[in-house]
Structure 1
Amino acid sequence: MPDRSKSTACAPHQGRVLGEGGTPHPLDPLRGEEILQVRRVLVEAGALGESTRVAYLGLEEPPKDGPDPGRRARAFLLDVTGGEAEDVVVSLRDGRVESRRAIDPVTDGQVPMLDEEHALVRRVLAQDAEWAAALARRGIDDPGRVYLAALSAGHYGLPGEEGRRIARVLAHLRPTQESLPWAHPVDGLVAYVDLIKGAVLEIVDSGVLPVPREPGDYHLPGAFGPWRTTQRPIEITQPQGPSFEIDGTLVTWEKWRVRIGYDMREGLVLHQIGFEDGGRVRPIVHRASVAEMLVPYGDPSPVRFWQNYFDTGEYQLGKLANSLELGCDCLGEITYFDVTVTGGDGTPKVLRNAICMHEEDFGVLWKHTDPANGSAETRRQRRLVISFFVTVGNYDYGFYWYLYLDGTIELEVKATGIVFTAAYDERAAPYASQVAPGLAAPYHQHLFSARLDMAVDGPRNAVDEVDVATRPMGPGNPYGNAFGRTVTRLRTEAEARRDADAARGRTWHIVNPEVRNRLGDPVGYALYPQAGPLLLAAEGSSIRRRAEFAAHHLWVTRYDPAERYPAGDLVNQHPGGAGLPRYAAAGRDIDGQDIVLWHTFGMTHFPRTEDWPVMPVDSCGFTLRPAGFFDRNPTLDVPPSARHDSSAPCH
C-alpha cells in the first residue's frame, strides 16, 4: 500500500492523546506510563521474559457495583519458544500480579496472532524446499516475488494439529515492488506452519491453476485513465469552532454526555452515554462497543475451506487503526485523538490520529408548514460523529458512532478495501464471483456483534419484543383496515435468543419498569436491527460452533463483568462453545435486571465487478431510538438556522 503520510493532498493534523493528563477516570484506557508499570510488574514476577510476548494488554474495567478495586490491567502472554501462555491480571494500585492462570491450548484456544508471526512465516517458507517446488510448478522461480498472508488457522480437528499454534498461509504473486498482489493469486496451494517450532507442518497442493495476469494497481496514477477534472471544492467550516467540549475523555455536546475509551482488541468504546433532560443527565448506555467481528468464507475447496476470520478476537482490530488525515479521511472542523496500545515487548505504542470526532449537518430535523394559521417552521438536524478506521489485511473498516439532537444513537460500519481473491474456474464458480478475467472473489460475510450494556434511566432494565400485527375482519374490524402490535416480554436468557423479522417490523424495546414517563408508560429505547442474513455455515460445522453468537440477531444476558466477548476470551484456534452460548446457558432472569444486549448485524457479500480492484464503501449498522424516554419531542428548543442570503432565521 502507498505511504499516505507522504501525500501532498492531505495535511497532517495533530491529535490529543486519549486519556492523558490529570488523574485517570476508572474507565479511561491504560496510559503509556501505566503500560510500562504493568511491564515492570510482569518482569519482576517472572511472567515476562526475553522470549515472552504480550499478545494483549488492556484495562480490566471495574465492576459497576461493589468496592473500587483500583486500576487493573489484563494481559495475555505467550512464550514464543515453548508455546506456554498465561492470562494475567495486574493491580496498578498495589503494583503486583493479582492473578495468573495458565492457558491450555487444547481447551482454551490460543492467544491472538502476533505481528512478528507474519515475518516468521515468511522466513520459514523461504527455506522450505517443498514450498519452492510448488511455486516452481506454477512458473515462479523466485519465492521472494510472492506475497504471503499468514492467516488464523481455525479449529478443525486435523491430525497433528491439536495443541499446536498454527497459521495457514496463502500466496499472491507480486510482479514488482509497486504491484498490489491481490490481482495475482497463486491458487491451489496453501501451507500450514507451526509458529512455535518455526516449521512447515504440511503443504497442500490441489493442482496448478493459472495465475491471473491482469494488474489491479489502482493506486498508480494513470493506471485506469486520467483523473477527473470536474470536481470543484467543497468547504466545510465552523468559524467559531465545534460545539462540543472535552474534559479528559468526557465529551459534552448539545445535551449528550459520553466518555470515550479505546481497547487494542475492540477499538473504540463509548462509556456512560447519557442525555441531559430536565436538569439532569439521564443514563442510556453504560458501555457500547463492537465486541467481535467475523468474516466467514463460503469456498469449500481443500485450499480455502478454513477461511473464517475473527478480526477482533484473532487479529485485535483495535491495534490496527489507521492514522487519519484531514481532508482525506475526515473533512471539516476535526478533533483527533491519539490512542495508546501495547507492542509485543510490552511497551506502549501510540497510534496517531486514530479517533476522529466532528459535527455534521444532517438535513432537516423537523419541518411543518401549517395551512390553518400560515406558520412555517424548519429545524436542521446535526450529529456528533466519533469514528475510527482499521486495516485488517486486504479489507478496511470504518466504525462510525453517531449521536443525534433528538436522542438517537446509531452505529454505521463501512467496509471497503480489496476483496480476497482466488483463481476463477469451474470449481470456484458456484462459490465465487469473477471480478476480472480469470480472477475470483469468493462469497463471504461480514458479521459484527455489538455489545450494548444498557442503563436506560438506571441499571434495572427489561426487553420487550415488538411486532406489527394485523387484525382479522370481523365485528370489531368490519372494513379490515385495523392493525396493531404485539408486545412480548423476554424474561430469561433462554427466551432472549431472537431473530430480526423485517416482515413484522420487529424491534426490541429496552425499558425501565421502575421509571415512568408522564403518560404512565415505562421509559425506553428501541433497537432497530438490521434484518440481514445470519451466519450461513451449516449446523455442526466448526465455524458455527466457534461463532454461535452469529446464529441470532439478538441475545440478552444478565450483566457479568467477566462476560466481555461474544465468542469468548480466547478465540484463536478455540474448539467452540465459548462466549454467548455459555453465558446464556445459565438461563438467568433478565426481567428488570442489569442486562447486556448483543446485536449481530452485517453484510453478505457476493462481490460485483464494480468491487474490483478496490471496493466502494458498503455499509451496515443499527439504530437505538428513544421510545417513550422523553415526554415530548426533545428538540423543540433547537433554534432556527440563519438563511444563507440574509441574517433572518429560516421559517
Structure 2
Amino acid sequence: MKAFSGHPLEPLSADEIRQAAAACRAYADQNGIGSLRFNVISLQEPPKKQLVGYLKAAAAAAGEGAAAAAPPVPLPRRAFVILQLPGLCGVVEAEVDLQAGVSEPSAEAVLSWTTVAGVCALASPDDCLEAEALCKADPQVQQLLKDRYGITDMDSLCCDPWSIHASPVDERAIQCFLYVKTCPEDNAYAHPLDMTPVVGLDSGRVLRIDLPYKCGPGGGPIEWNKENSNYHTALQSCVRTDMKPLNITQPQGPSFSVQGNHISWHNWSFILGFNYREGIVLHDVRYKYGGVTRPVMHRVSLVEMAVPYADPREPYVRKCAFDVGDYGLGYCTFPLTLGCDCLGHIHYFDATLANSKGEPVTISKAICMHEEDTGLLYKHVDYRTGHAESRRGRRLVISHVSTVVNYEYAFYWYLYMDGALGLDIKLTGELSTNMLSPGENPAAPDYGTLVGPGVNAQHHQHMFCARLDPAVGDEDGGRGVVVKELDVETLPWNGLSNPYGNGFRTVETALTSVHGAQRCIAPERGRVWKFVNPELLNPVSKQPVAYKLVPAAHPPLAALPGSLIGRKGHFATKQLWVTPHHDKQNWPAGDYVFGAKDCTGLAVWTKEDAPLLGSDPVVWYSFGVTHVVRPEDFPIMPVEVCGFTLKPAGFFPRNPCLDLPYDKNAASVDNHTNGHANGNGNGNGHANGNGSGSCCSGGA
C-alpha cells in the first residue's frame, strides 16, 4: 500500500477500508472473537488541536504571510469502525492505524477496541434490505396477506423499513410499513396495507405483527385501494410537447479548480469531506480578500434530523425517523444523473463507503459540483448621467441526494461571490401513506390528507440540525470567537430622542454561557446571531469582524414538552445552542440514536451552564418545516425548500465583489419588438436619462 499523500481530511479510499476491515478481523482472530459484522468504516478525523496546527502550516506552505514555509508534517491516518458481534447487546468501537506499506493484516494496527453496551448501531443499507427479505419470507406475514387482502404474490409486496420510535420490543428491530405494486413501475404508496410487521435484526425473524384497526386473522378480506396514481414515465398517457430546451453552457469551462478534495472557486477555498452519516462536510472554508486568505468556518455539516408524524394512534405513533442517526445520509446517497439532477459543466465526486462485510462500495457520481447564475448581484443607475453598473452573481453548488426509504432529501451547499455561505434542503420523493382507520372521516382524516380513495398521508415535521464550527479569521480554529444575538429594538415615544416615533436601533447581547445561549428565532425582532472575532477589527466600522447566521422563519417542534419526541429530539426544542468545542461531541441527538429513548447529545452536554468565552464555541442551529400534506404532493412531491444563510457582517471593509469584470452575456436573445419598446418615442430617453450613457458599463 502506497504512503498516503493526500489531505488528512480526505475520506477513506477503497484500499484503506479493506485494510481497516482486515486489521479488525486479525484482532478478532487473535482474541477468540467470533464473526464480525461491520456497521461503519469511516475516517477518524484528527483531533481539532492537531488539525488546526496542520492547517496553519499548510496555509504557510502555500505562501500565505510573508513567505512560503515547509510543508506540514503529515498527521496520523486512522479509521473509525463500528462492529456488531453475535450475542452482544451493544456495539464495539475500534480505531485502526492505517500505516502505509502494510502488506498483511495486523492486529497491532487496532489501537482501541471498546465495547459500548446497551446501544443499537444504525440501520445500514444491508440491514434494510435484509429486513424486507425477512418480512416477505415470514409464513405468518404471507398467511395474513392472503387472508386479509387476498395477496399471494410476494414480488408485488413492498416493505418500507422504518426505525421504530418508542419500540415495543427489546431487540434491535425495524418496523415494516406494507404496500403493493400492481406492476413493477407502479407507485406502491397508492396502495397501503393496514398491517405492520416488526422484524428483529439480531434474531433474523418477525417478532410481532400489528393489525391496527381492521379485523384480526381470519376475519375476512379487507378492501385496499386498487386505483393507481403514478409518476413513472412509462405509465404516463400524456406528456407535454411544448417544452423547449433551456441550456446552460460554459464555453471556457468552469471557474473552479480541483486538486484531490481541495477546491478553489473565485476567492473561496475549502476541503470537501463526505462520510456515512453526515454526507457532505465542508472543512477549512476560507475567503481571500485584499491578497489575504482568512478562515471563515472550520467545519460545517448537517448532523441530525427528526421526522415526527402527527397521528397519535398505534402503530403510527411510532413514526419518527431520525434519518441522520438512524440510517446515515451518506449511506442513503445514490448516483446523480447528468442533464437531469445536474445541469451545466459538472464535476462529480465518487464516494466510497463500506458494507456489512467490510468491503468497499463506491457510489459513482455521489456528489455534484457546478456553478449557477443567481441573477442580479448589484446594480445602480446614476439617473443624472444615465450610466448603469450591474453585475450578475454566481454561486458554487456542492450537492448530494439521499433517498431515505420514501423521502428524497437533496442537500445543496452554496458559496456566493459576496462571501455568503448557505444550505438549502429540497424535500421531495414520496409521502408515507396508510389506510384510513375506522371512525375517521373519509373526507377529512384527523391527522392527514386524502391522496387517493381511502389513502391517508399523515401530516409531519422535518426538523434539521446543522453543526457550525466558526473560525471568522481566527487561525487557531475559532477559539476566540464570541457568539452574539442581535435584535432590532423599536424606541419608545420621546419628545427629544424619538419625537416622530420612527426610531429603532440594534441591540447586541453576548451569549456567554451554555444556558444563556439556548435561543429561539424572533422574526418580529429581525433576530440574527453573529459569530464575532474580537481580535480583528474592521478598518472602516472599527468593530470586530463577524459573520452572521440569518435564520428563516420556521415552526417549533409540535410535540409536547416531556414527550418521547420532545426528549429524544431535544435539539429541535430551541433553534440555537452553543457549546464549548469537544472532539467527541458531534451528534446532537446522541452517538447511537437507533432505538434510543432519550437524547444523549445536547440534553447531556447542556446540563451544566458552562462558560463560552474563550471556549472555541460550536453552534448548533435547528430549523425545519411542518408538512401539512396537500393533494398536489402526490403521487410525487414537488420540492419543499428550507435552509439558512451565513453572511459576512463586517468581515470585509466594503463590497468584496467590486473587482468583478463587466460581462455581457452574448448568448442572450432579445425577443421583444422595437416598436413596442420605443413606440412612444420615450423608451431610450427613460432608460438612459439624458441619453449619454449605456445600459451597462463597458458596452451598449
Are residue 397 (structure 1) and residue 409 (structure 2) matched?
yes
Bigger proportion of residues as helix: 2
2:208 corresponding residue in structure 1: 202
2:303 corresponding residue in structure 1: 291
CA distance in 1 between counterparts of 2:19 and 2:547 reads 41
Residues 453-504 of structure 1, C-alpha deviation per residue, up to 9 Å, x if partnerless? 1111112201111111111111211111111122111001111111111111
Residues 351-400 of structure 1, C-alpha deviation per residue, up to 9 Å, x if partnerless? 10111111111111110001244431111111111111111111111100
Task: Mark the runs of 5 or more structure 1 residues left unpaired by the alignment.
Answer: 1-19
Task: After TM superposition, give the deviation of residue 637 of structure 1 in Å.
Answer: 0.8
Is the Cα–Cα contact under 8 Å of residues 377 and 650 in structure 1 kept in the other structure?
A: no
2:359 corresponding residue in structure 1: 347
Are residue 594 (structure 1) and residue 631 (structure 2) matched?
no
Counting only pairs closer than 5 Å after superposition, residues 58-457 of structure 1 correspond to structure 2 as 58-66=42-50, 70-79=76-85, 85-93=91-99, 96-105=109-118, 109-142=119-152, 144=154, 145-156=156-167, 158=168, 161-162=169-170, 164-187=171-194, 189-208=195-214, 210-223=223-236, 225-425=237-437, 426-427=439-440, 429-457=445-473
Residues 145-175 of structure 1, C-alpha deviation per residue, up to 9 Å, x if partnerless? 321122212345x4xx33x211112111222
Task: After TM superposition, give the deviation of residue 650 of structure 1 in Å.
Answer: 5.1
Is the Cα–Cα contact under 8 Å of residues 389 and 697 in structure 2 kept in the other structure?
A: no
CA distance in 2 between counterparts of 1:576 and 1:287 reads 27
Are residue 491 (structure 1) and residue 491 (structure 2) matched?
no
Task: After TM superposition, give the deviation of residue 143 of structure 1 in Å.
Answer: 5.5
Task: After TM superposition, give the deviation of residue 134 of structure 1 in Å.
Answer: 2.9
2:628 corresponding residue in structure 1: 606
Q: Residue 597 and residue 648 in structure 1: after superposition, are their counterparts in 2 closer, same or farther (change >3 A)?
A: closer
Task: After TM superposition, give the deviation of residue 280 of structure 1 in Å.
Answer: 1.6
CA distance in 1 between counterparts of 2:562 and 2:656 reads 49
Is the Cα–Cα contact under 8 Å of residues 136 and 157 in structure 2 kept in the other structure?
A: no
Q: SS in structure 2 opposite 1:221?
A: helix
CA distance in 2 between counterparts of 1:197 and 1:530 reads 45
CA distance in 2 between counterparts of 1:335 and 1:450 reads 25
Residues 385-443 of structure 1, C-alpha deviation per residue, up to 9 Å, x if partnerless? 11111111111111001111100101100111111101235437111111222211101
Is the Cα–Cα contact under 8 Å of residues 134 and 205 in structure 1 kept in the other structure?
A: no
Q: Residue 185 and residue 39 in structure 1: after superposition, are their counterparts in 2 closer, same or farther (change >3 A)?
A: same
Residues 59-112 of structure 1, C-alpha deviation per residue, up to 9 Å, x if partnerless? 11112214886111111111256555211111224961122211212xxx2001
Q: SS in structure 1 opposite 2:49?
A: coil
Percentage of identical aligned residues: 38
User: What letter corresponds to residue 64 of structure 1 in structure 2?
Assistant: K
Residues 211-231 of structure 1, C-alpha deviation per residue, up to 9 Å, x if partnerless? 2222122104353x3111111
CA distance in 2 between counterparts of 1:645 and 1:297 reads 48
CA distance in 1 between counterparts of 2:656 and 2:136 reads 64
Task: Tell which deviates more after alignment, 145-154 or 380-389.
Answer: 145-154
Is the Cα–Cα contact under 8 Å of residues 34 and 86 in structure 2 kept in the other structure?
A: no
Root-mean-square deviation (CA, aligned residues, Å) is 2.2
Task: After TM superposition, give the deviation of residue 264 of structure 1 in Å.
Answer: 1.1
Task: Tell which deviates more after alignment, 300-309 or 121-130.
Answer: 121-130
User: What letter corresponds to residue 628 of structure 2 in structure 1?
Assistant: F
Is the Cα–Cα contact under 8 Å of residues 8 and 75 in structure 2 kept in the other structure?
A: no
Task: Tell which deviates more after alignment, 208-217 or 398-407.
Answer: 208-217
Q: SS in structure 2 opposite 1:293?
A: strand
Q: SS in structure 2 opposite 1:416?
A: strand
Is the Cα–Cα contact under 8 Å of residues 641 and 650 in structure 1 kept in the other structure?
A: no
Residues 172-196 of structure 1, C-alpha deviation per residue, up to 9 Å, x if partnerless? 1222333221110002x21222221
Q: Residue 577 and residue 117 in structure 1: after superposition, are their counterparts in 2 closer, same or farther (change >3 A)?
A: closer
1:553 corresponding residue in structure 2: 575
Is the Cα–Cα contact under 8 Å of residues 513 and 592 in structure 1 kept in the other structure?
A: no
Q: SS in structure 1 opposite 2:427?
A: strand
Q: SS in structure 1 opposite 2:22?
A: helix
Is the Cα–Cα contact under 8 Å of residues 190 and 455 in structure 2 kept in the other structure?
A: yes
CA distance in 1 between counterparts of 2:447 and 2:96 reads 47
Q: SS in structure 1 opposite 2:141?
A: helix
Q: SS in structure 2 opposite 1:312?
A: helix
CA distance in 2 between counterparts of 1:87 and 1:229 reads 56
Q: Residue 373 and residue 76 in structure 1: after superposition, are their counterparts in 2 closer, same or farther (change >3 A)?
A: same
Q: SS in structure 2 opposite 1:239?
A: coil
Task: After TM superposition, give the deviation of residue 202 of structure 1 in Å.
Answer: 1.8
CA distance in 1 between counterparts of 2:453 and 2:574 reads 38
Is the Cα–Cα contact under 8 Å of residues 549 and 566 in structure 1 kept in the other structure?
A: yes
Is the Cα–Cα contact under 8 Å of residues 56 and 265 in structure 1 kept in the other structure?
A: no
Task: After TM superposition, give the deviation of residue 29 of structure 1 in Å.
Answer: 1.0
1:501 corresponding residue in structure 2: 522
TM-score by length of structure 2 reads: 0.85
Task: Mark the runs of 5 or more structure 2 residues left unpaired by the alignment.
Answer: 54-73, 101-107, 215-221, 669-695
User: What letter corresponds to residue 473 of structure 2 in structure 1?
Assistant: D
CA distance in 1 between counterparts of 2:423 and 2:659 reads 26
CA distance in 1 between counterparts of 2:134 and 2:234 reads 35
CA distance in 2 between counterparts of 1:422 and 1:473 reads 57
Rg comparison, structure with higher value? 2
Task: After TM superposition, give the deviation of residue 36 of structure 1 in Å.
Answer: 1.3
User: What letter corresponds to residue 525 of structure 1 in structure 2?
Assistant: Y
User: What letter corresponds to residue 96 of structure 1 in structure 2?
Assistant: A
Task: Tell which deviates more after alignment, 439-448 or 40-49.
Answer: 40-49
CA distance in 2 between counterparts of 1:372 and 1:478 reads 35
CA distance in 1 between counterparts of 2:128 and 2:422 reads 36
1:462 to 482, 490, 515: 482
Q: Residue 110 and residue 56 in structure 1: after superposition, are their counterparts in 2 closer, same or farther (change >3 A)?
A: same
Counting only pairs closer than 5 Å after superposition, residues 19-38 of structure 1 correspond to structure 2 as 23-38=5-20
Q: SS in structure 1 opposite 2:361?
A: strand
Task: After TM superposition, give the deviation of residue 321 of structure 1 in Å.
Answer: 1.2
Task: After TM superposition, give the deviation of residue 199 of structure 1 in Å.
Answer: 2.6
1:4 corresponding residue in structure 2: none
Is the Cα–Cα contact under 8 Å of residues 82 and 196 in structure 1 kept in the other structure?
A: no
Is the Cα–Cα contact under 8 Å of residues 132 and 176 in structure 2 kept in the other structure?
A: no
Q: Residue 643 and residue 298 in structure 1: after superposition, are their counterparts in 2 closer, same or farther (change >3 A)?
A: closer
Q: Residue 76 and residue 257 in structure 1: after superposition, are their counterparts in 2 closer, same or farther (change >3 A)?
A: same
User: What letter corresponds to residue 32 of structure 1 in structure 2?
Assistant: A
Task: Tell which deviates more after alignment, 171-180 or 438-447.
Answer: 171-180
Q: Residue 26 and residue 175 in structure 1: after superposition, are their counterparts in 2 closer, same or farther (change >3 A)?
A: same
CA distance in 2 between counterparts of 1:314 and 1:573 reads 8
Q: SS in structure 2 opposite 1:305?
A: helix
Task: Tell which deviates more after alignment, 167-176 or 522-531.
Answer: 167-176
User: What letter corresponds to residue 513 of structure 1 in structure 2?
Assistant: P
Is the Cα–Cα contact under 8 Å of residues 82 and 91 in structure 2 kept in the other structure?
A: yes
Residues 223-251 of structure 1, C-alpha deviation per residue, up to 9 Å, x if partnerless? 3x311111111111111111111111111
1:11 corresponding residue in structure 2: none
Q: Residue 643 and residue 309 in structure 1: after superposition, are their counterparts in 2 closer, same or farther (change >3 A)?
A: closer
Q: SS in structure 2 opposite 1:445?
A: strand
CA distance in 1 between counterparts of 2:363 and 2:33 reads 25
CA distance in 2 between counterparts of 1:481 and 1:207 reads 60
CA distance in 1 between counterparts of 2:326 and 2:361 reads 19
Q: Residue 281 and residue 186 in structure 1: after superposition, are their counterparts in 2 closer, same or farther (change >3 A)?
A: same
1:530 to 549, 552, 559: 552
Is the Cα–Cα contact under 8 Å of residues 493 and 588 in structure 1 kept in the other structure?
A: yes
Count of aligned pairs between the two proteins: 623
User: What letter corresponds to residue 473 of structure 1 in structure 2?
Assistant: W
CA distance in 2 between counterparts of 1:200 and 1:257 reads 51
